[in-house]
């Protein structure tokens, strides 16, 4: 009798699930309507036009946004640190040893935008990170190899590059590529672009593009990254990272 009733319930559950999930999918399709059917540079331009229309927040407001966007799903009092993977109290933010601070994944010196409202405060590439690990990453480009990083299991670094742990390699790639689409030389800011160099200095560029492409492929978006994208869209900036919603667009633009 129980089995028979369960079989009857399955179609009902399917209907309920579709009523919850389908509207979100439809909303995302509507958001990217102007980009559908495009590829290459044409797709990049279309996505820029879509995602550039965002609410901007101050650098001070970033603290509170990160406590929400990067909340530990298993402990709502904590955030997850990007590179370290450590779950840490939301209230332990600051500049002291073992505090967490605001890591610019696209290093703010690459294009010299600092903490200016716009690229310097864009939560799509700002993440919580341990103070010392943030310092170790500094403004290095991204690449493979190097020596182990203290307090950052799975991370490596050398004189000119930083390699994050495997679980967030794709996250890093998608944040970098978002920045390259969003900031295209308008509003007084530099035109940000990924390239194949690991010695970009203050140029508005970050490498290594071939490595970032591989990271995006090997580490697809997970539930944490998807939730983060949605929270930023719903509550803070009202724009999305297209490479989280459509990972295939990485190859379409930079393939």
196-211 pLDDT, tens digit per residue, is 999 999 999 999 999 9
Which helix (H) or strand (E) covers residue 156, if one does? strand 152-157
Confidence of residue 7 (pLDDT cuts 50, 70, 90): very low
Q: Angle at Cα 147 formed by Cα 145 and Cα 150, nearest 5°?
A: 125
- The two tokens of residue 132 are 């010392």
Query: Average pLDDT, stretch 209-224?
Result: 98
92-148 pLDDT, tens digit per residue, is 999 999 999 999 999 999 999 999 999 999 999 999 999 999 999 999 999 999 999
Confidence of residue 21 (pLDDT cuts 50, 70, 90): very low
pTM for the model: 0.89
Q: Give CA 213 to chain center in angstroms.
A: 14
Residue whose C-alpha is closest to residue 83's, from 16, 166, 26, 15 = 166
């Amino acid at each position: 009798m129980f089995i028979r009733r369960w079989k009857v319930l399955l179609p009902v559950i399917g209907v309920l699930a579709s009523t919850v999930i389908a509207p979100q999918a439809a909303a995302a399709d509507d958001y990217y309507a102007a980009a559908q059917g495009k590829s290459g540079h044409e797709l990049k331009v279309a996505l820029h036009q879509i995602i550039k229309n965002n609410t901007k927040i101050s650098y001070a407001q970033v603290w509170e946004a990160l406590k929400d966007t990067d909340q530990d799903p298993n402990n709502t009092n904590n955030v997850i640190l990007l590179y370290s993977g450590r779950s840490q109290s939301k209230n332990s933010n600051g500049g002291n040893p073992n505090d967490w601070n605001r890591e610019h994944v696209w290093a703010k010196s690459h294009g010299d935008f600092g903490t200016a409202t716009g690229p310097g405060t864009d939560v799509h590439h700002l993440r919580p990170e341990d103070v010392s690990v943030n310092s170790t990453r500094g403004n290095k480009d991204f690449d493979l190899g190097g020596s182990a990083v203290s307090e950052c299991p799975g991370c490596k670094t050398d004189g000119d590059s930083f390699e994050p742990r495997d679980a967030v390699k794709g996250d890093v790639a998608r944040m970098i590529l978002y920045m390259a689409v969003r900031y295209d030389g308008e509003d007084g800011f530099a035109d940000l672009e990924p390239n194949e160099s690991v010695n970009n200095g203050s140029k508005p560029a970050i490498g290594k593009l071939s490595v970032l492409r591989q990271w995006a492929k090997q580490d697809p978006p997970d539930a944490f990254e998807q939730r983060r994208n949605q929270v930023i869209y719903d509550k803070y900036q009202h724009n999305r990272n297209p490479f989280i919603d459509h990972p295939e667009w990485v190859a379409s633009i930079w393939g």
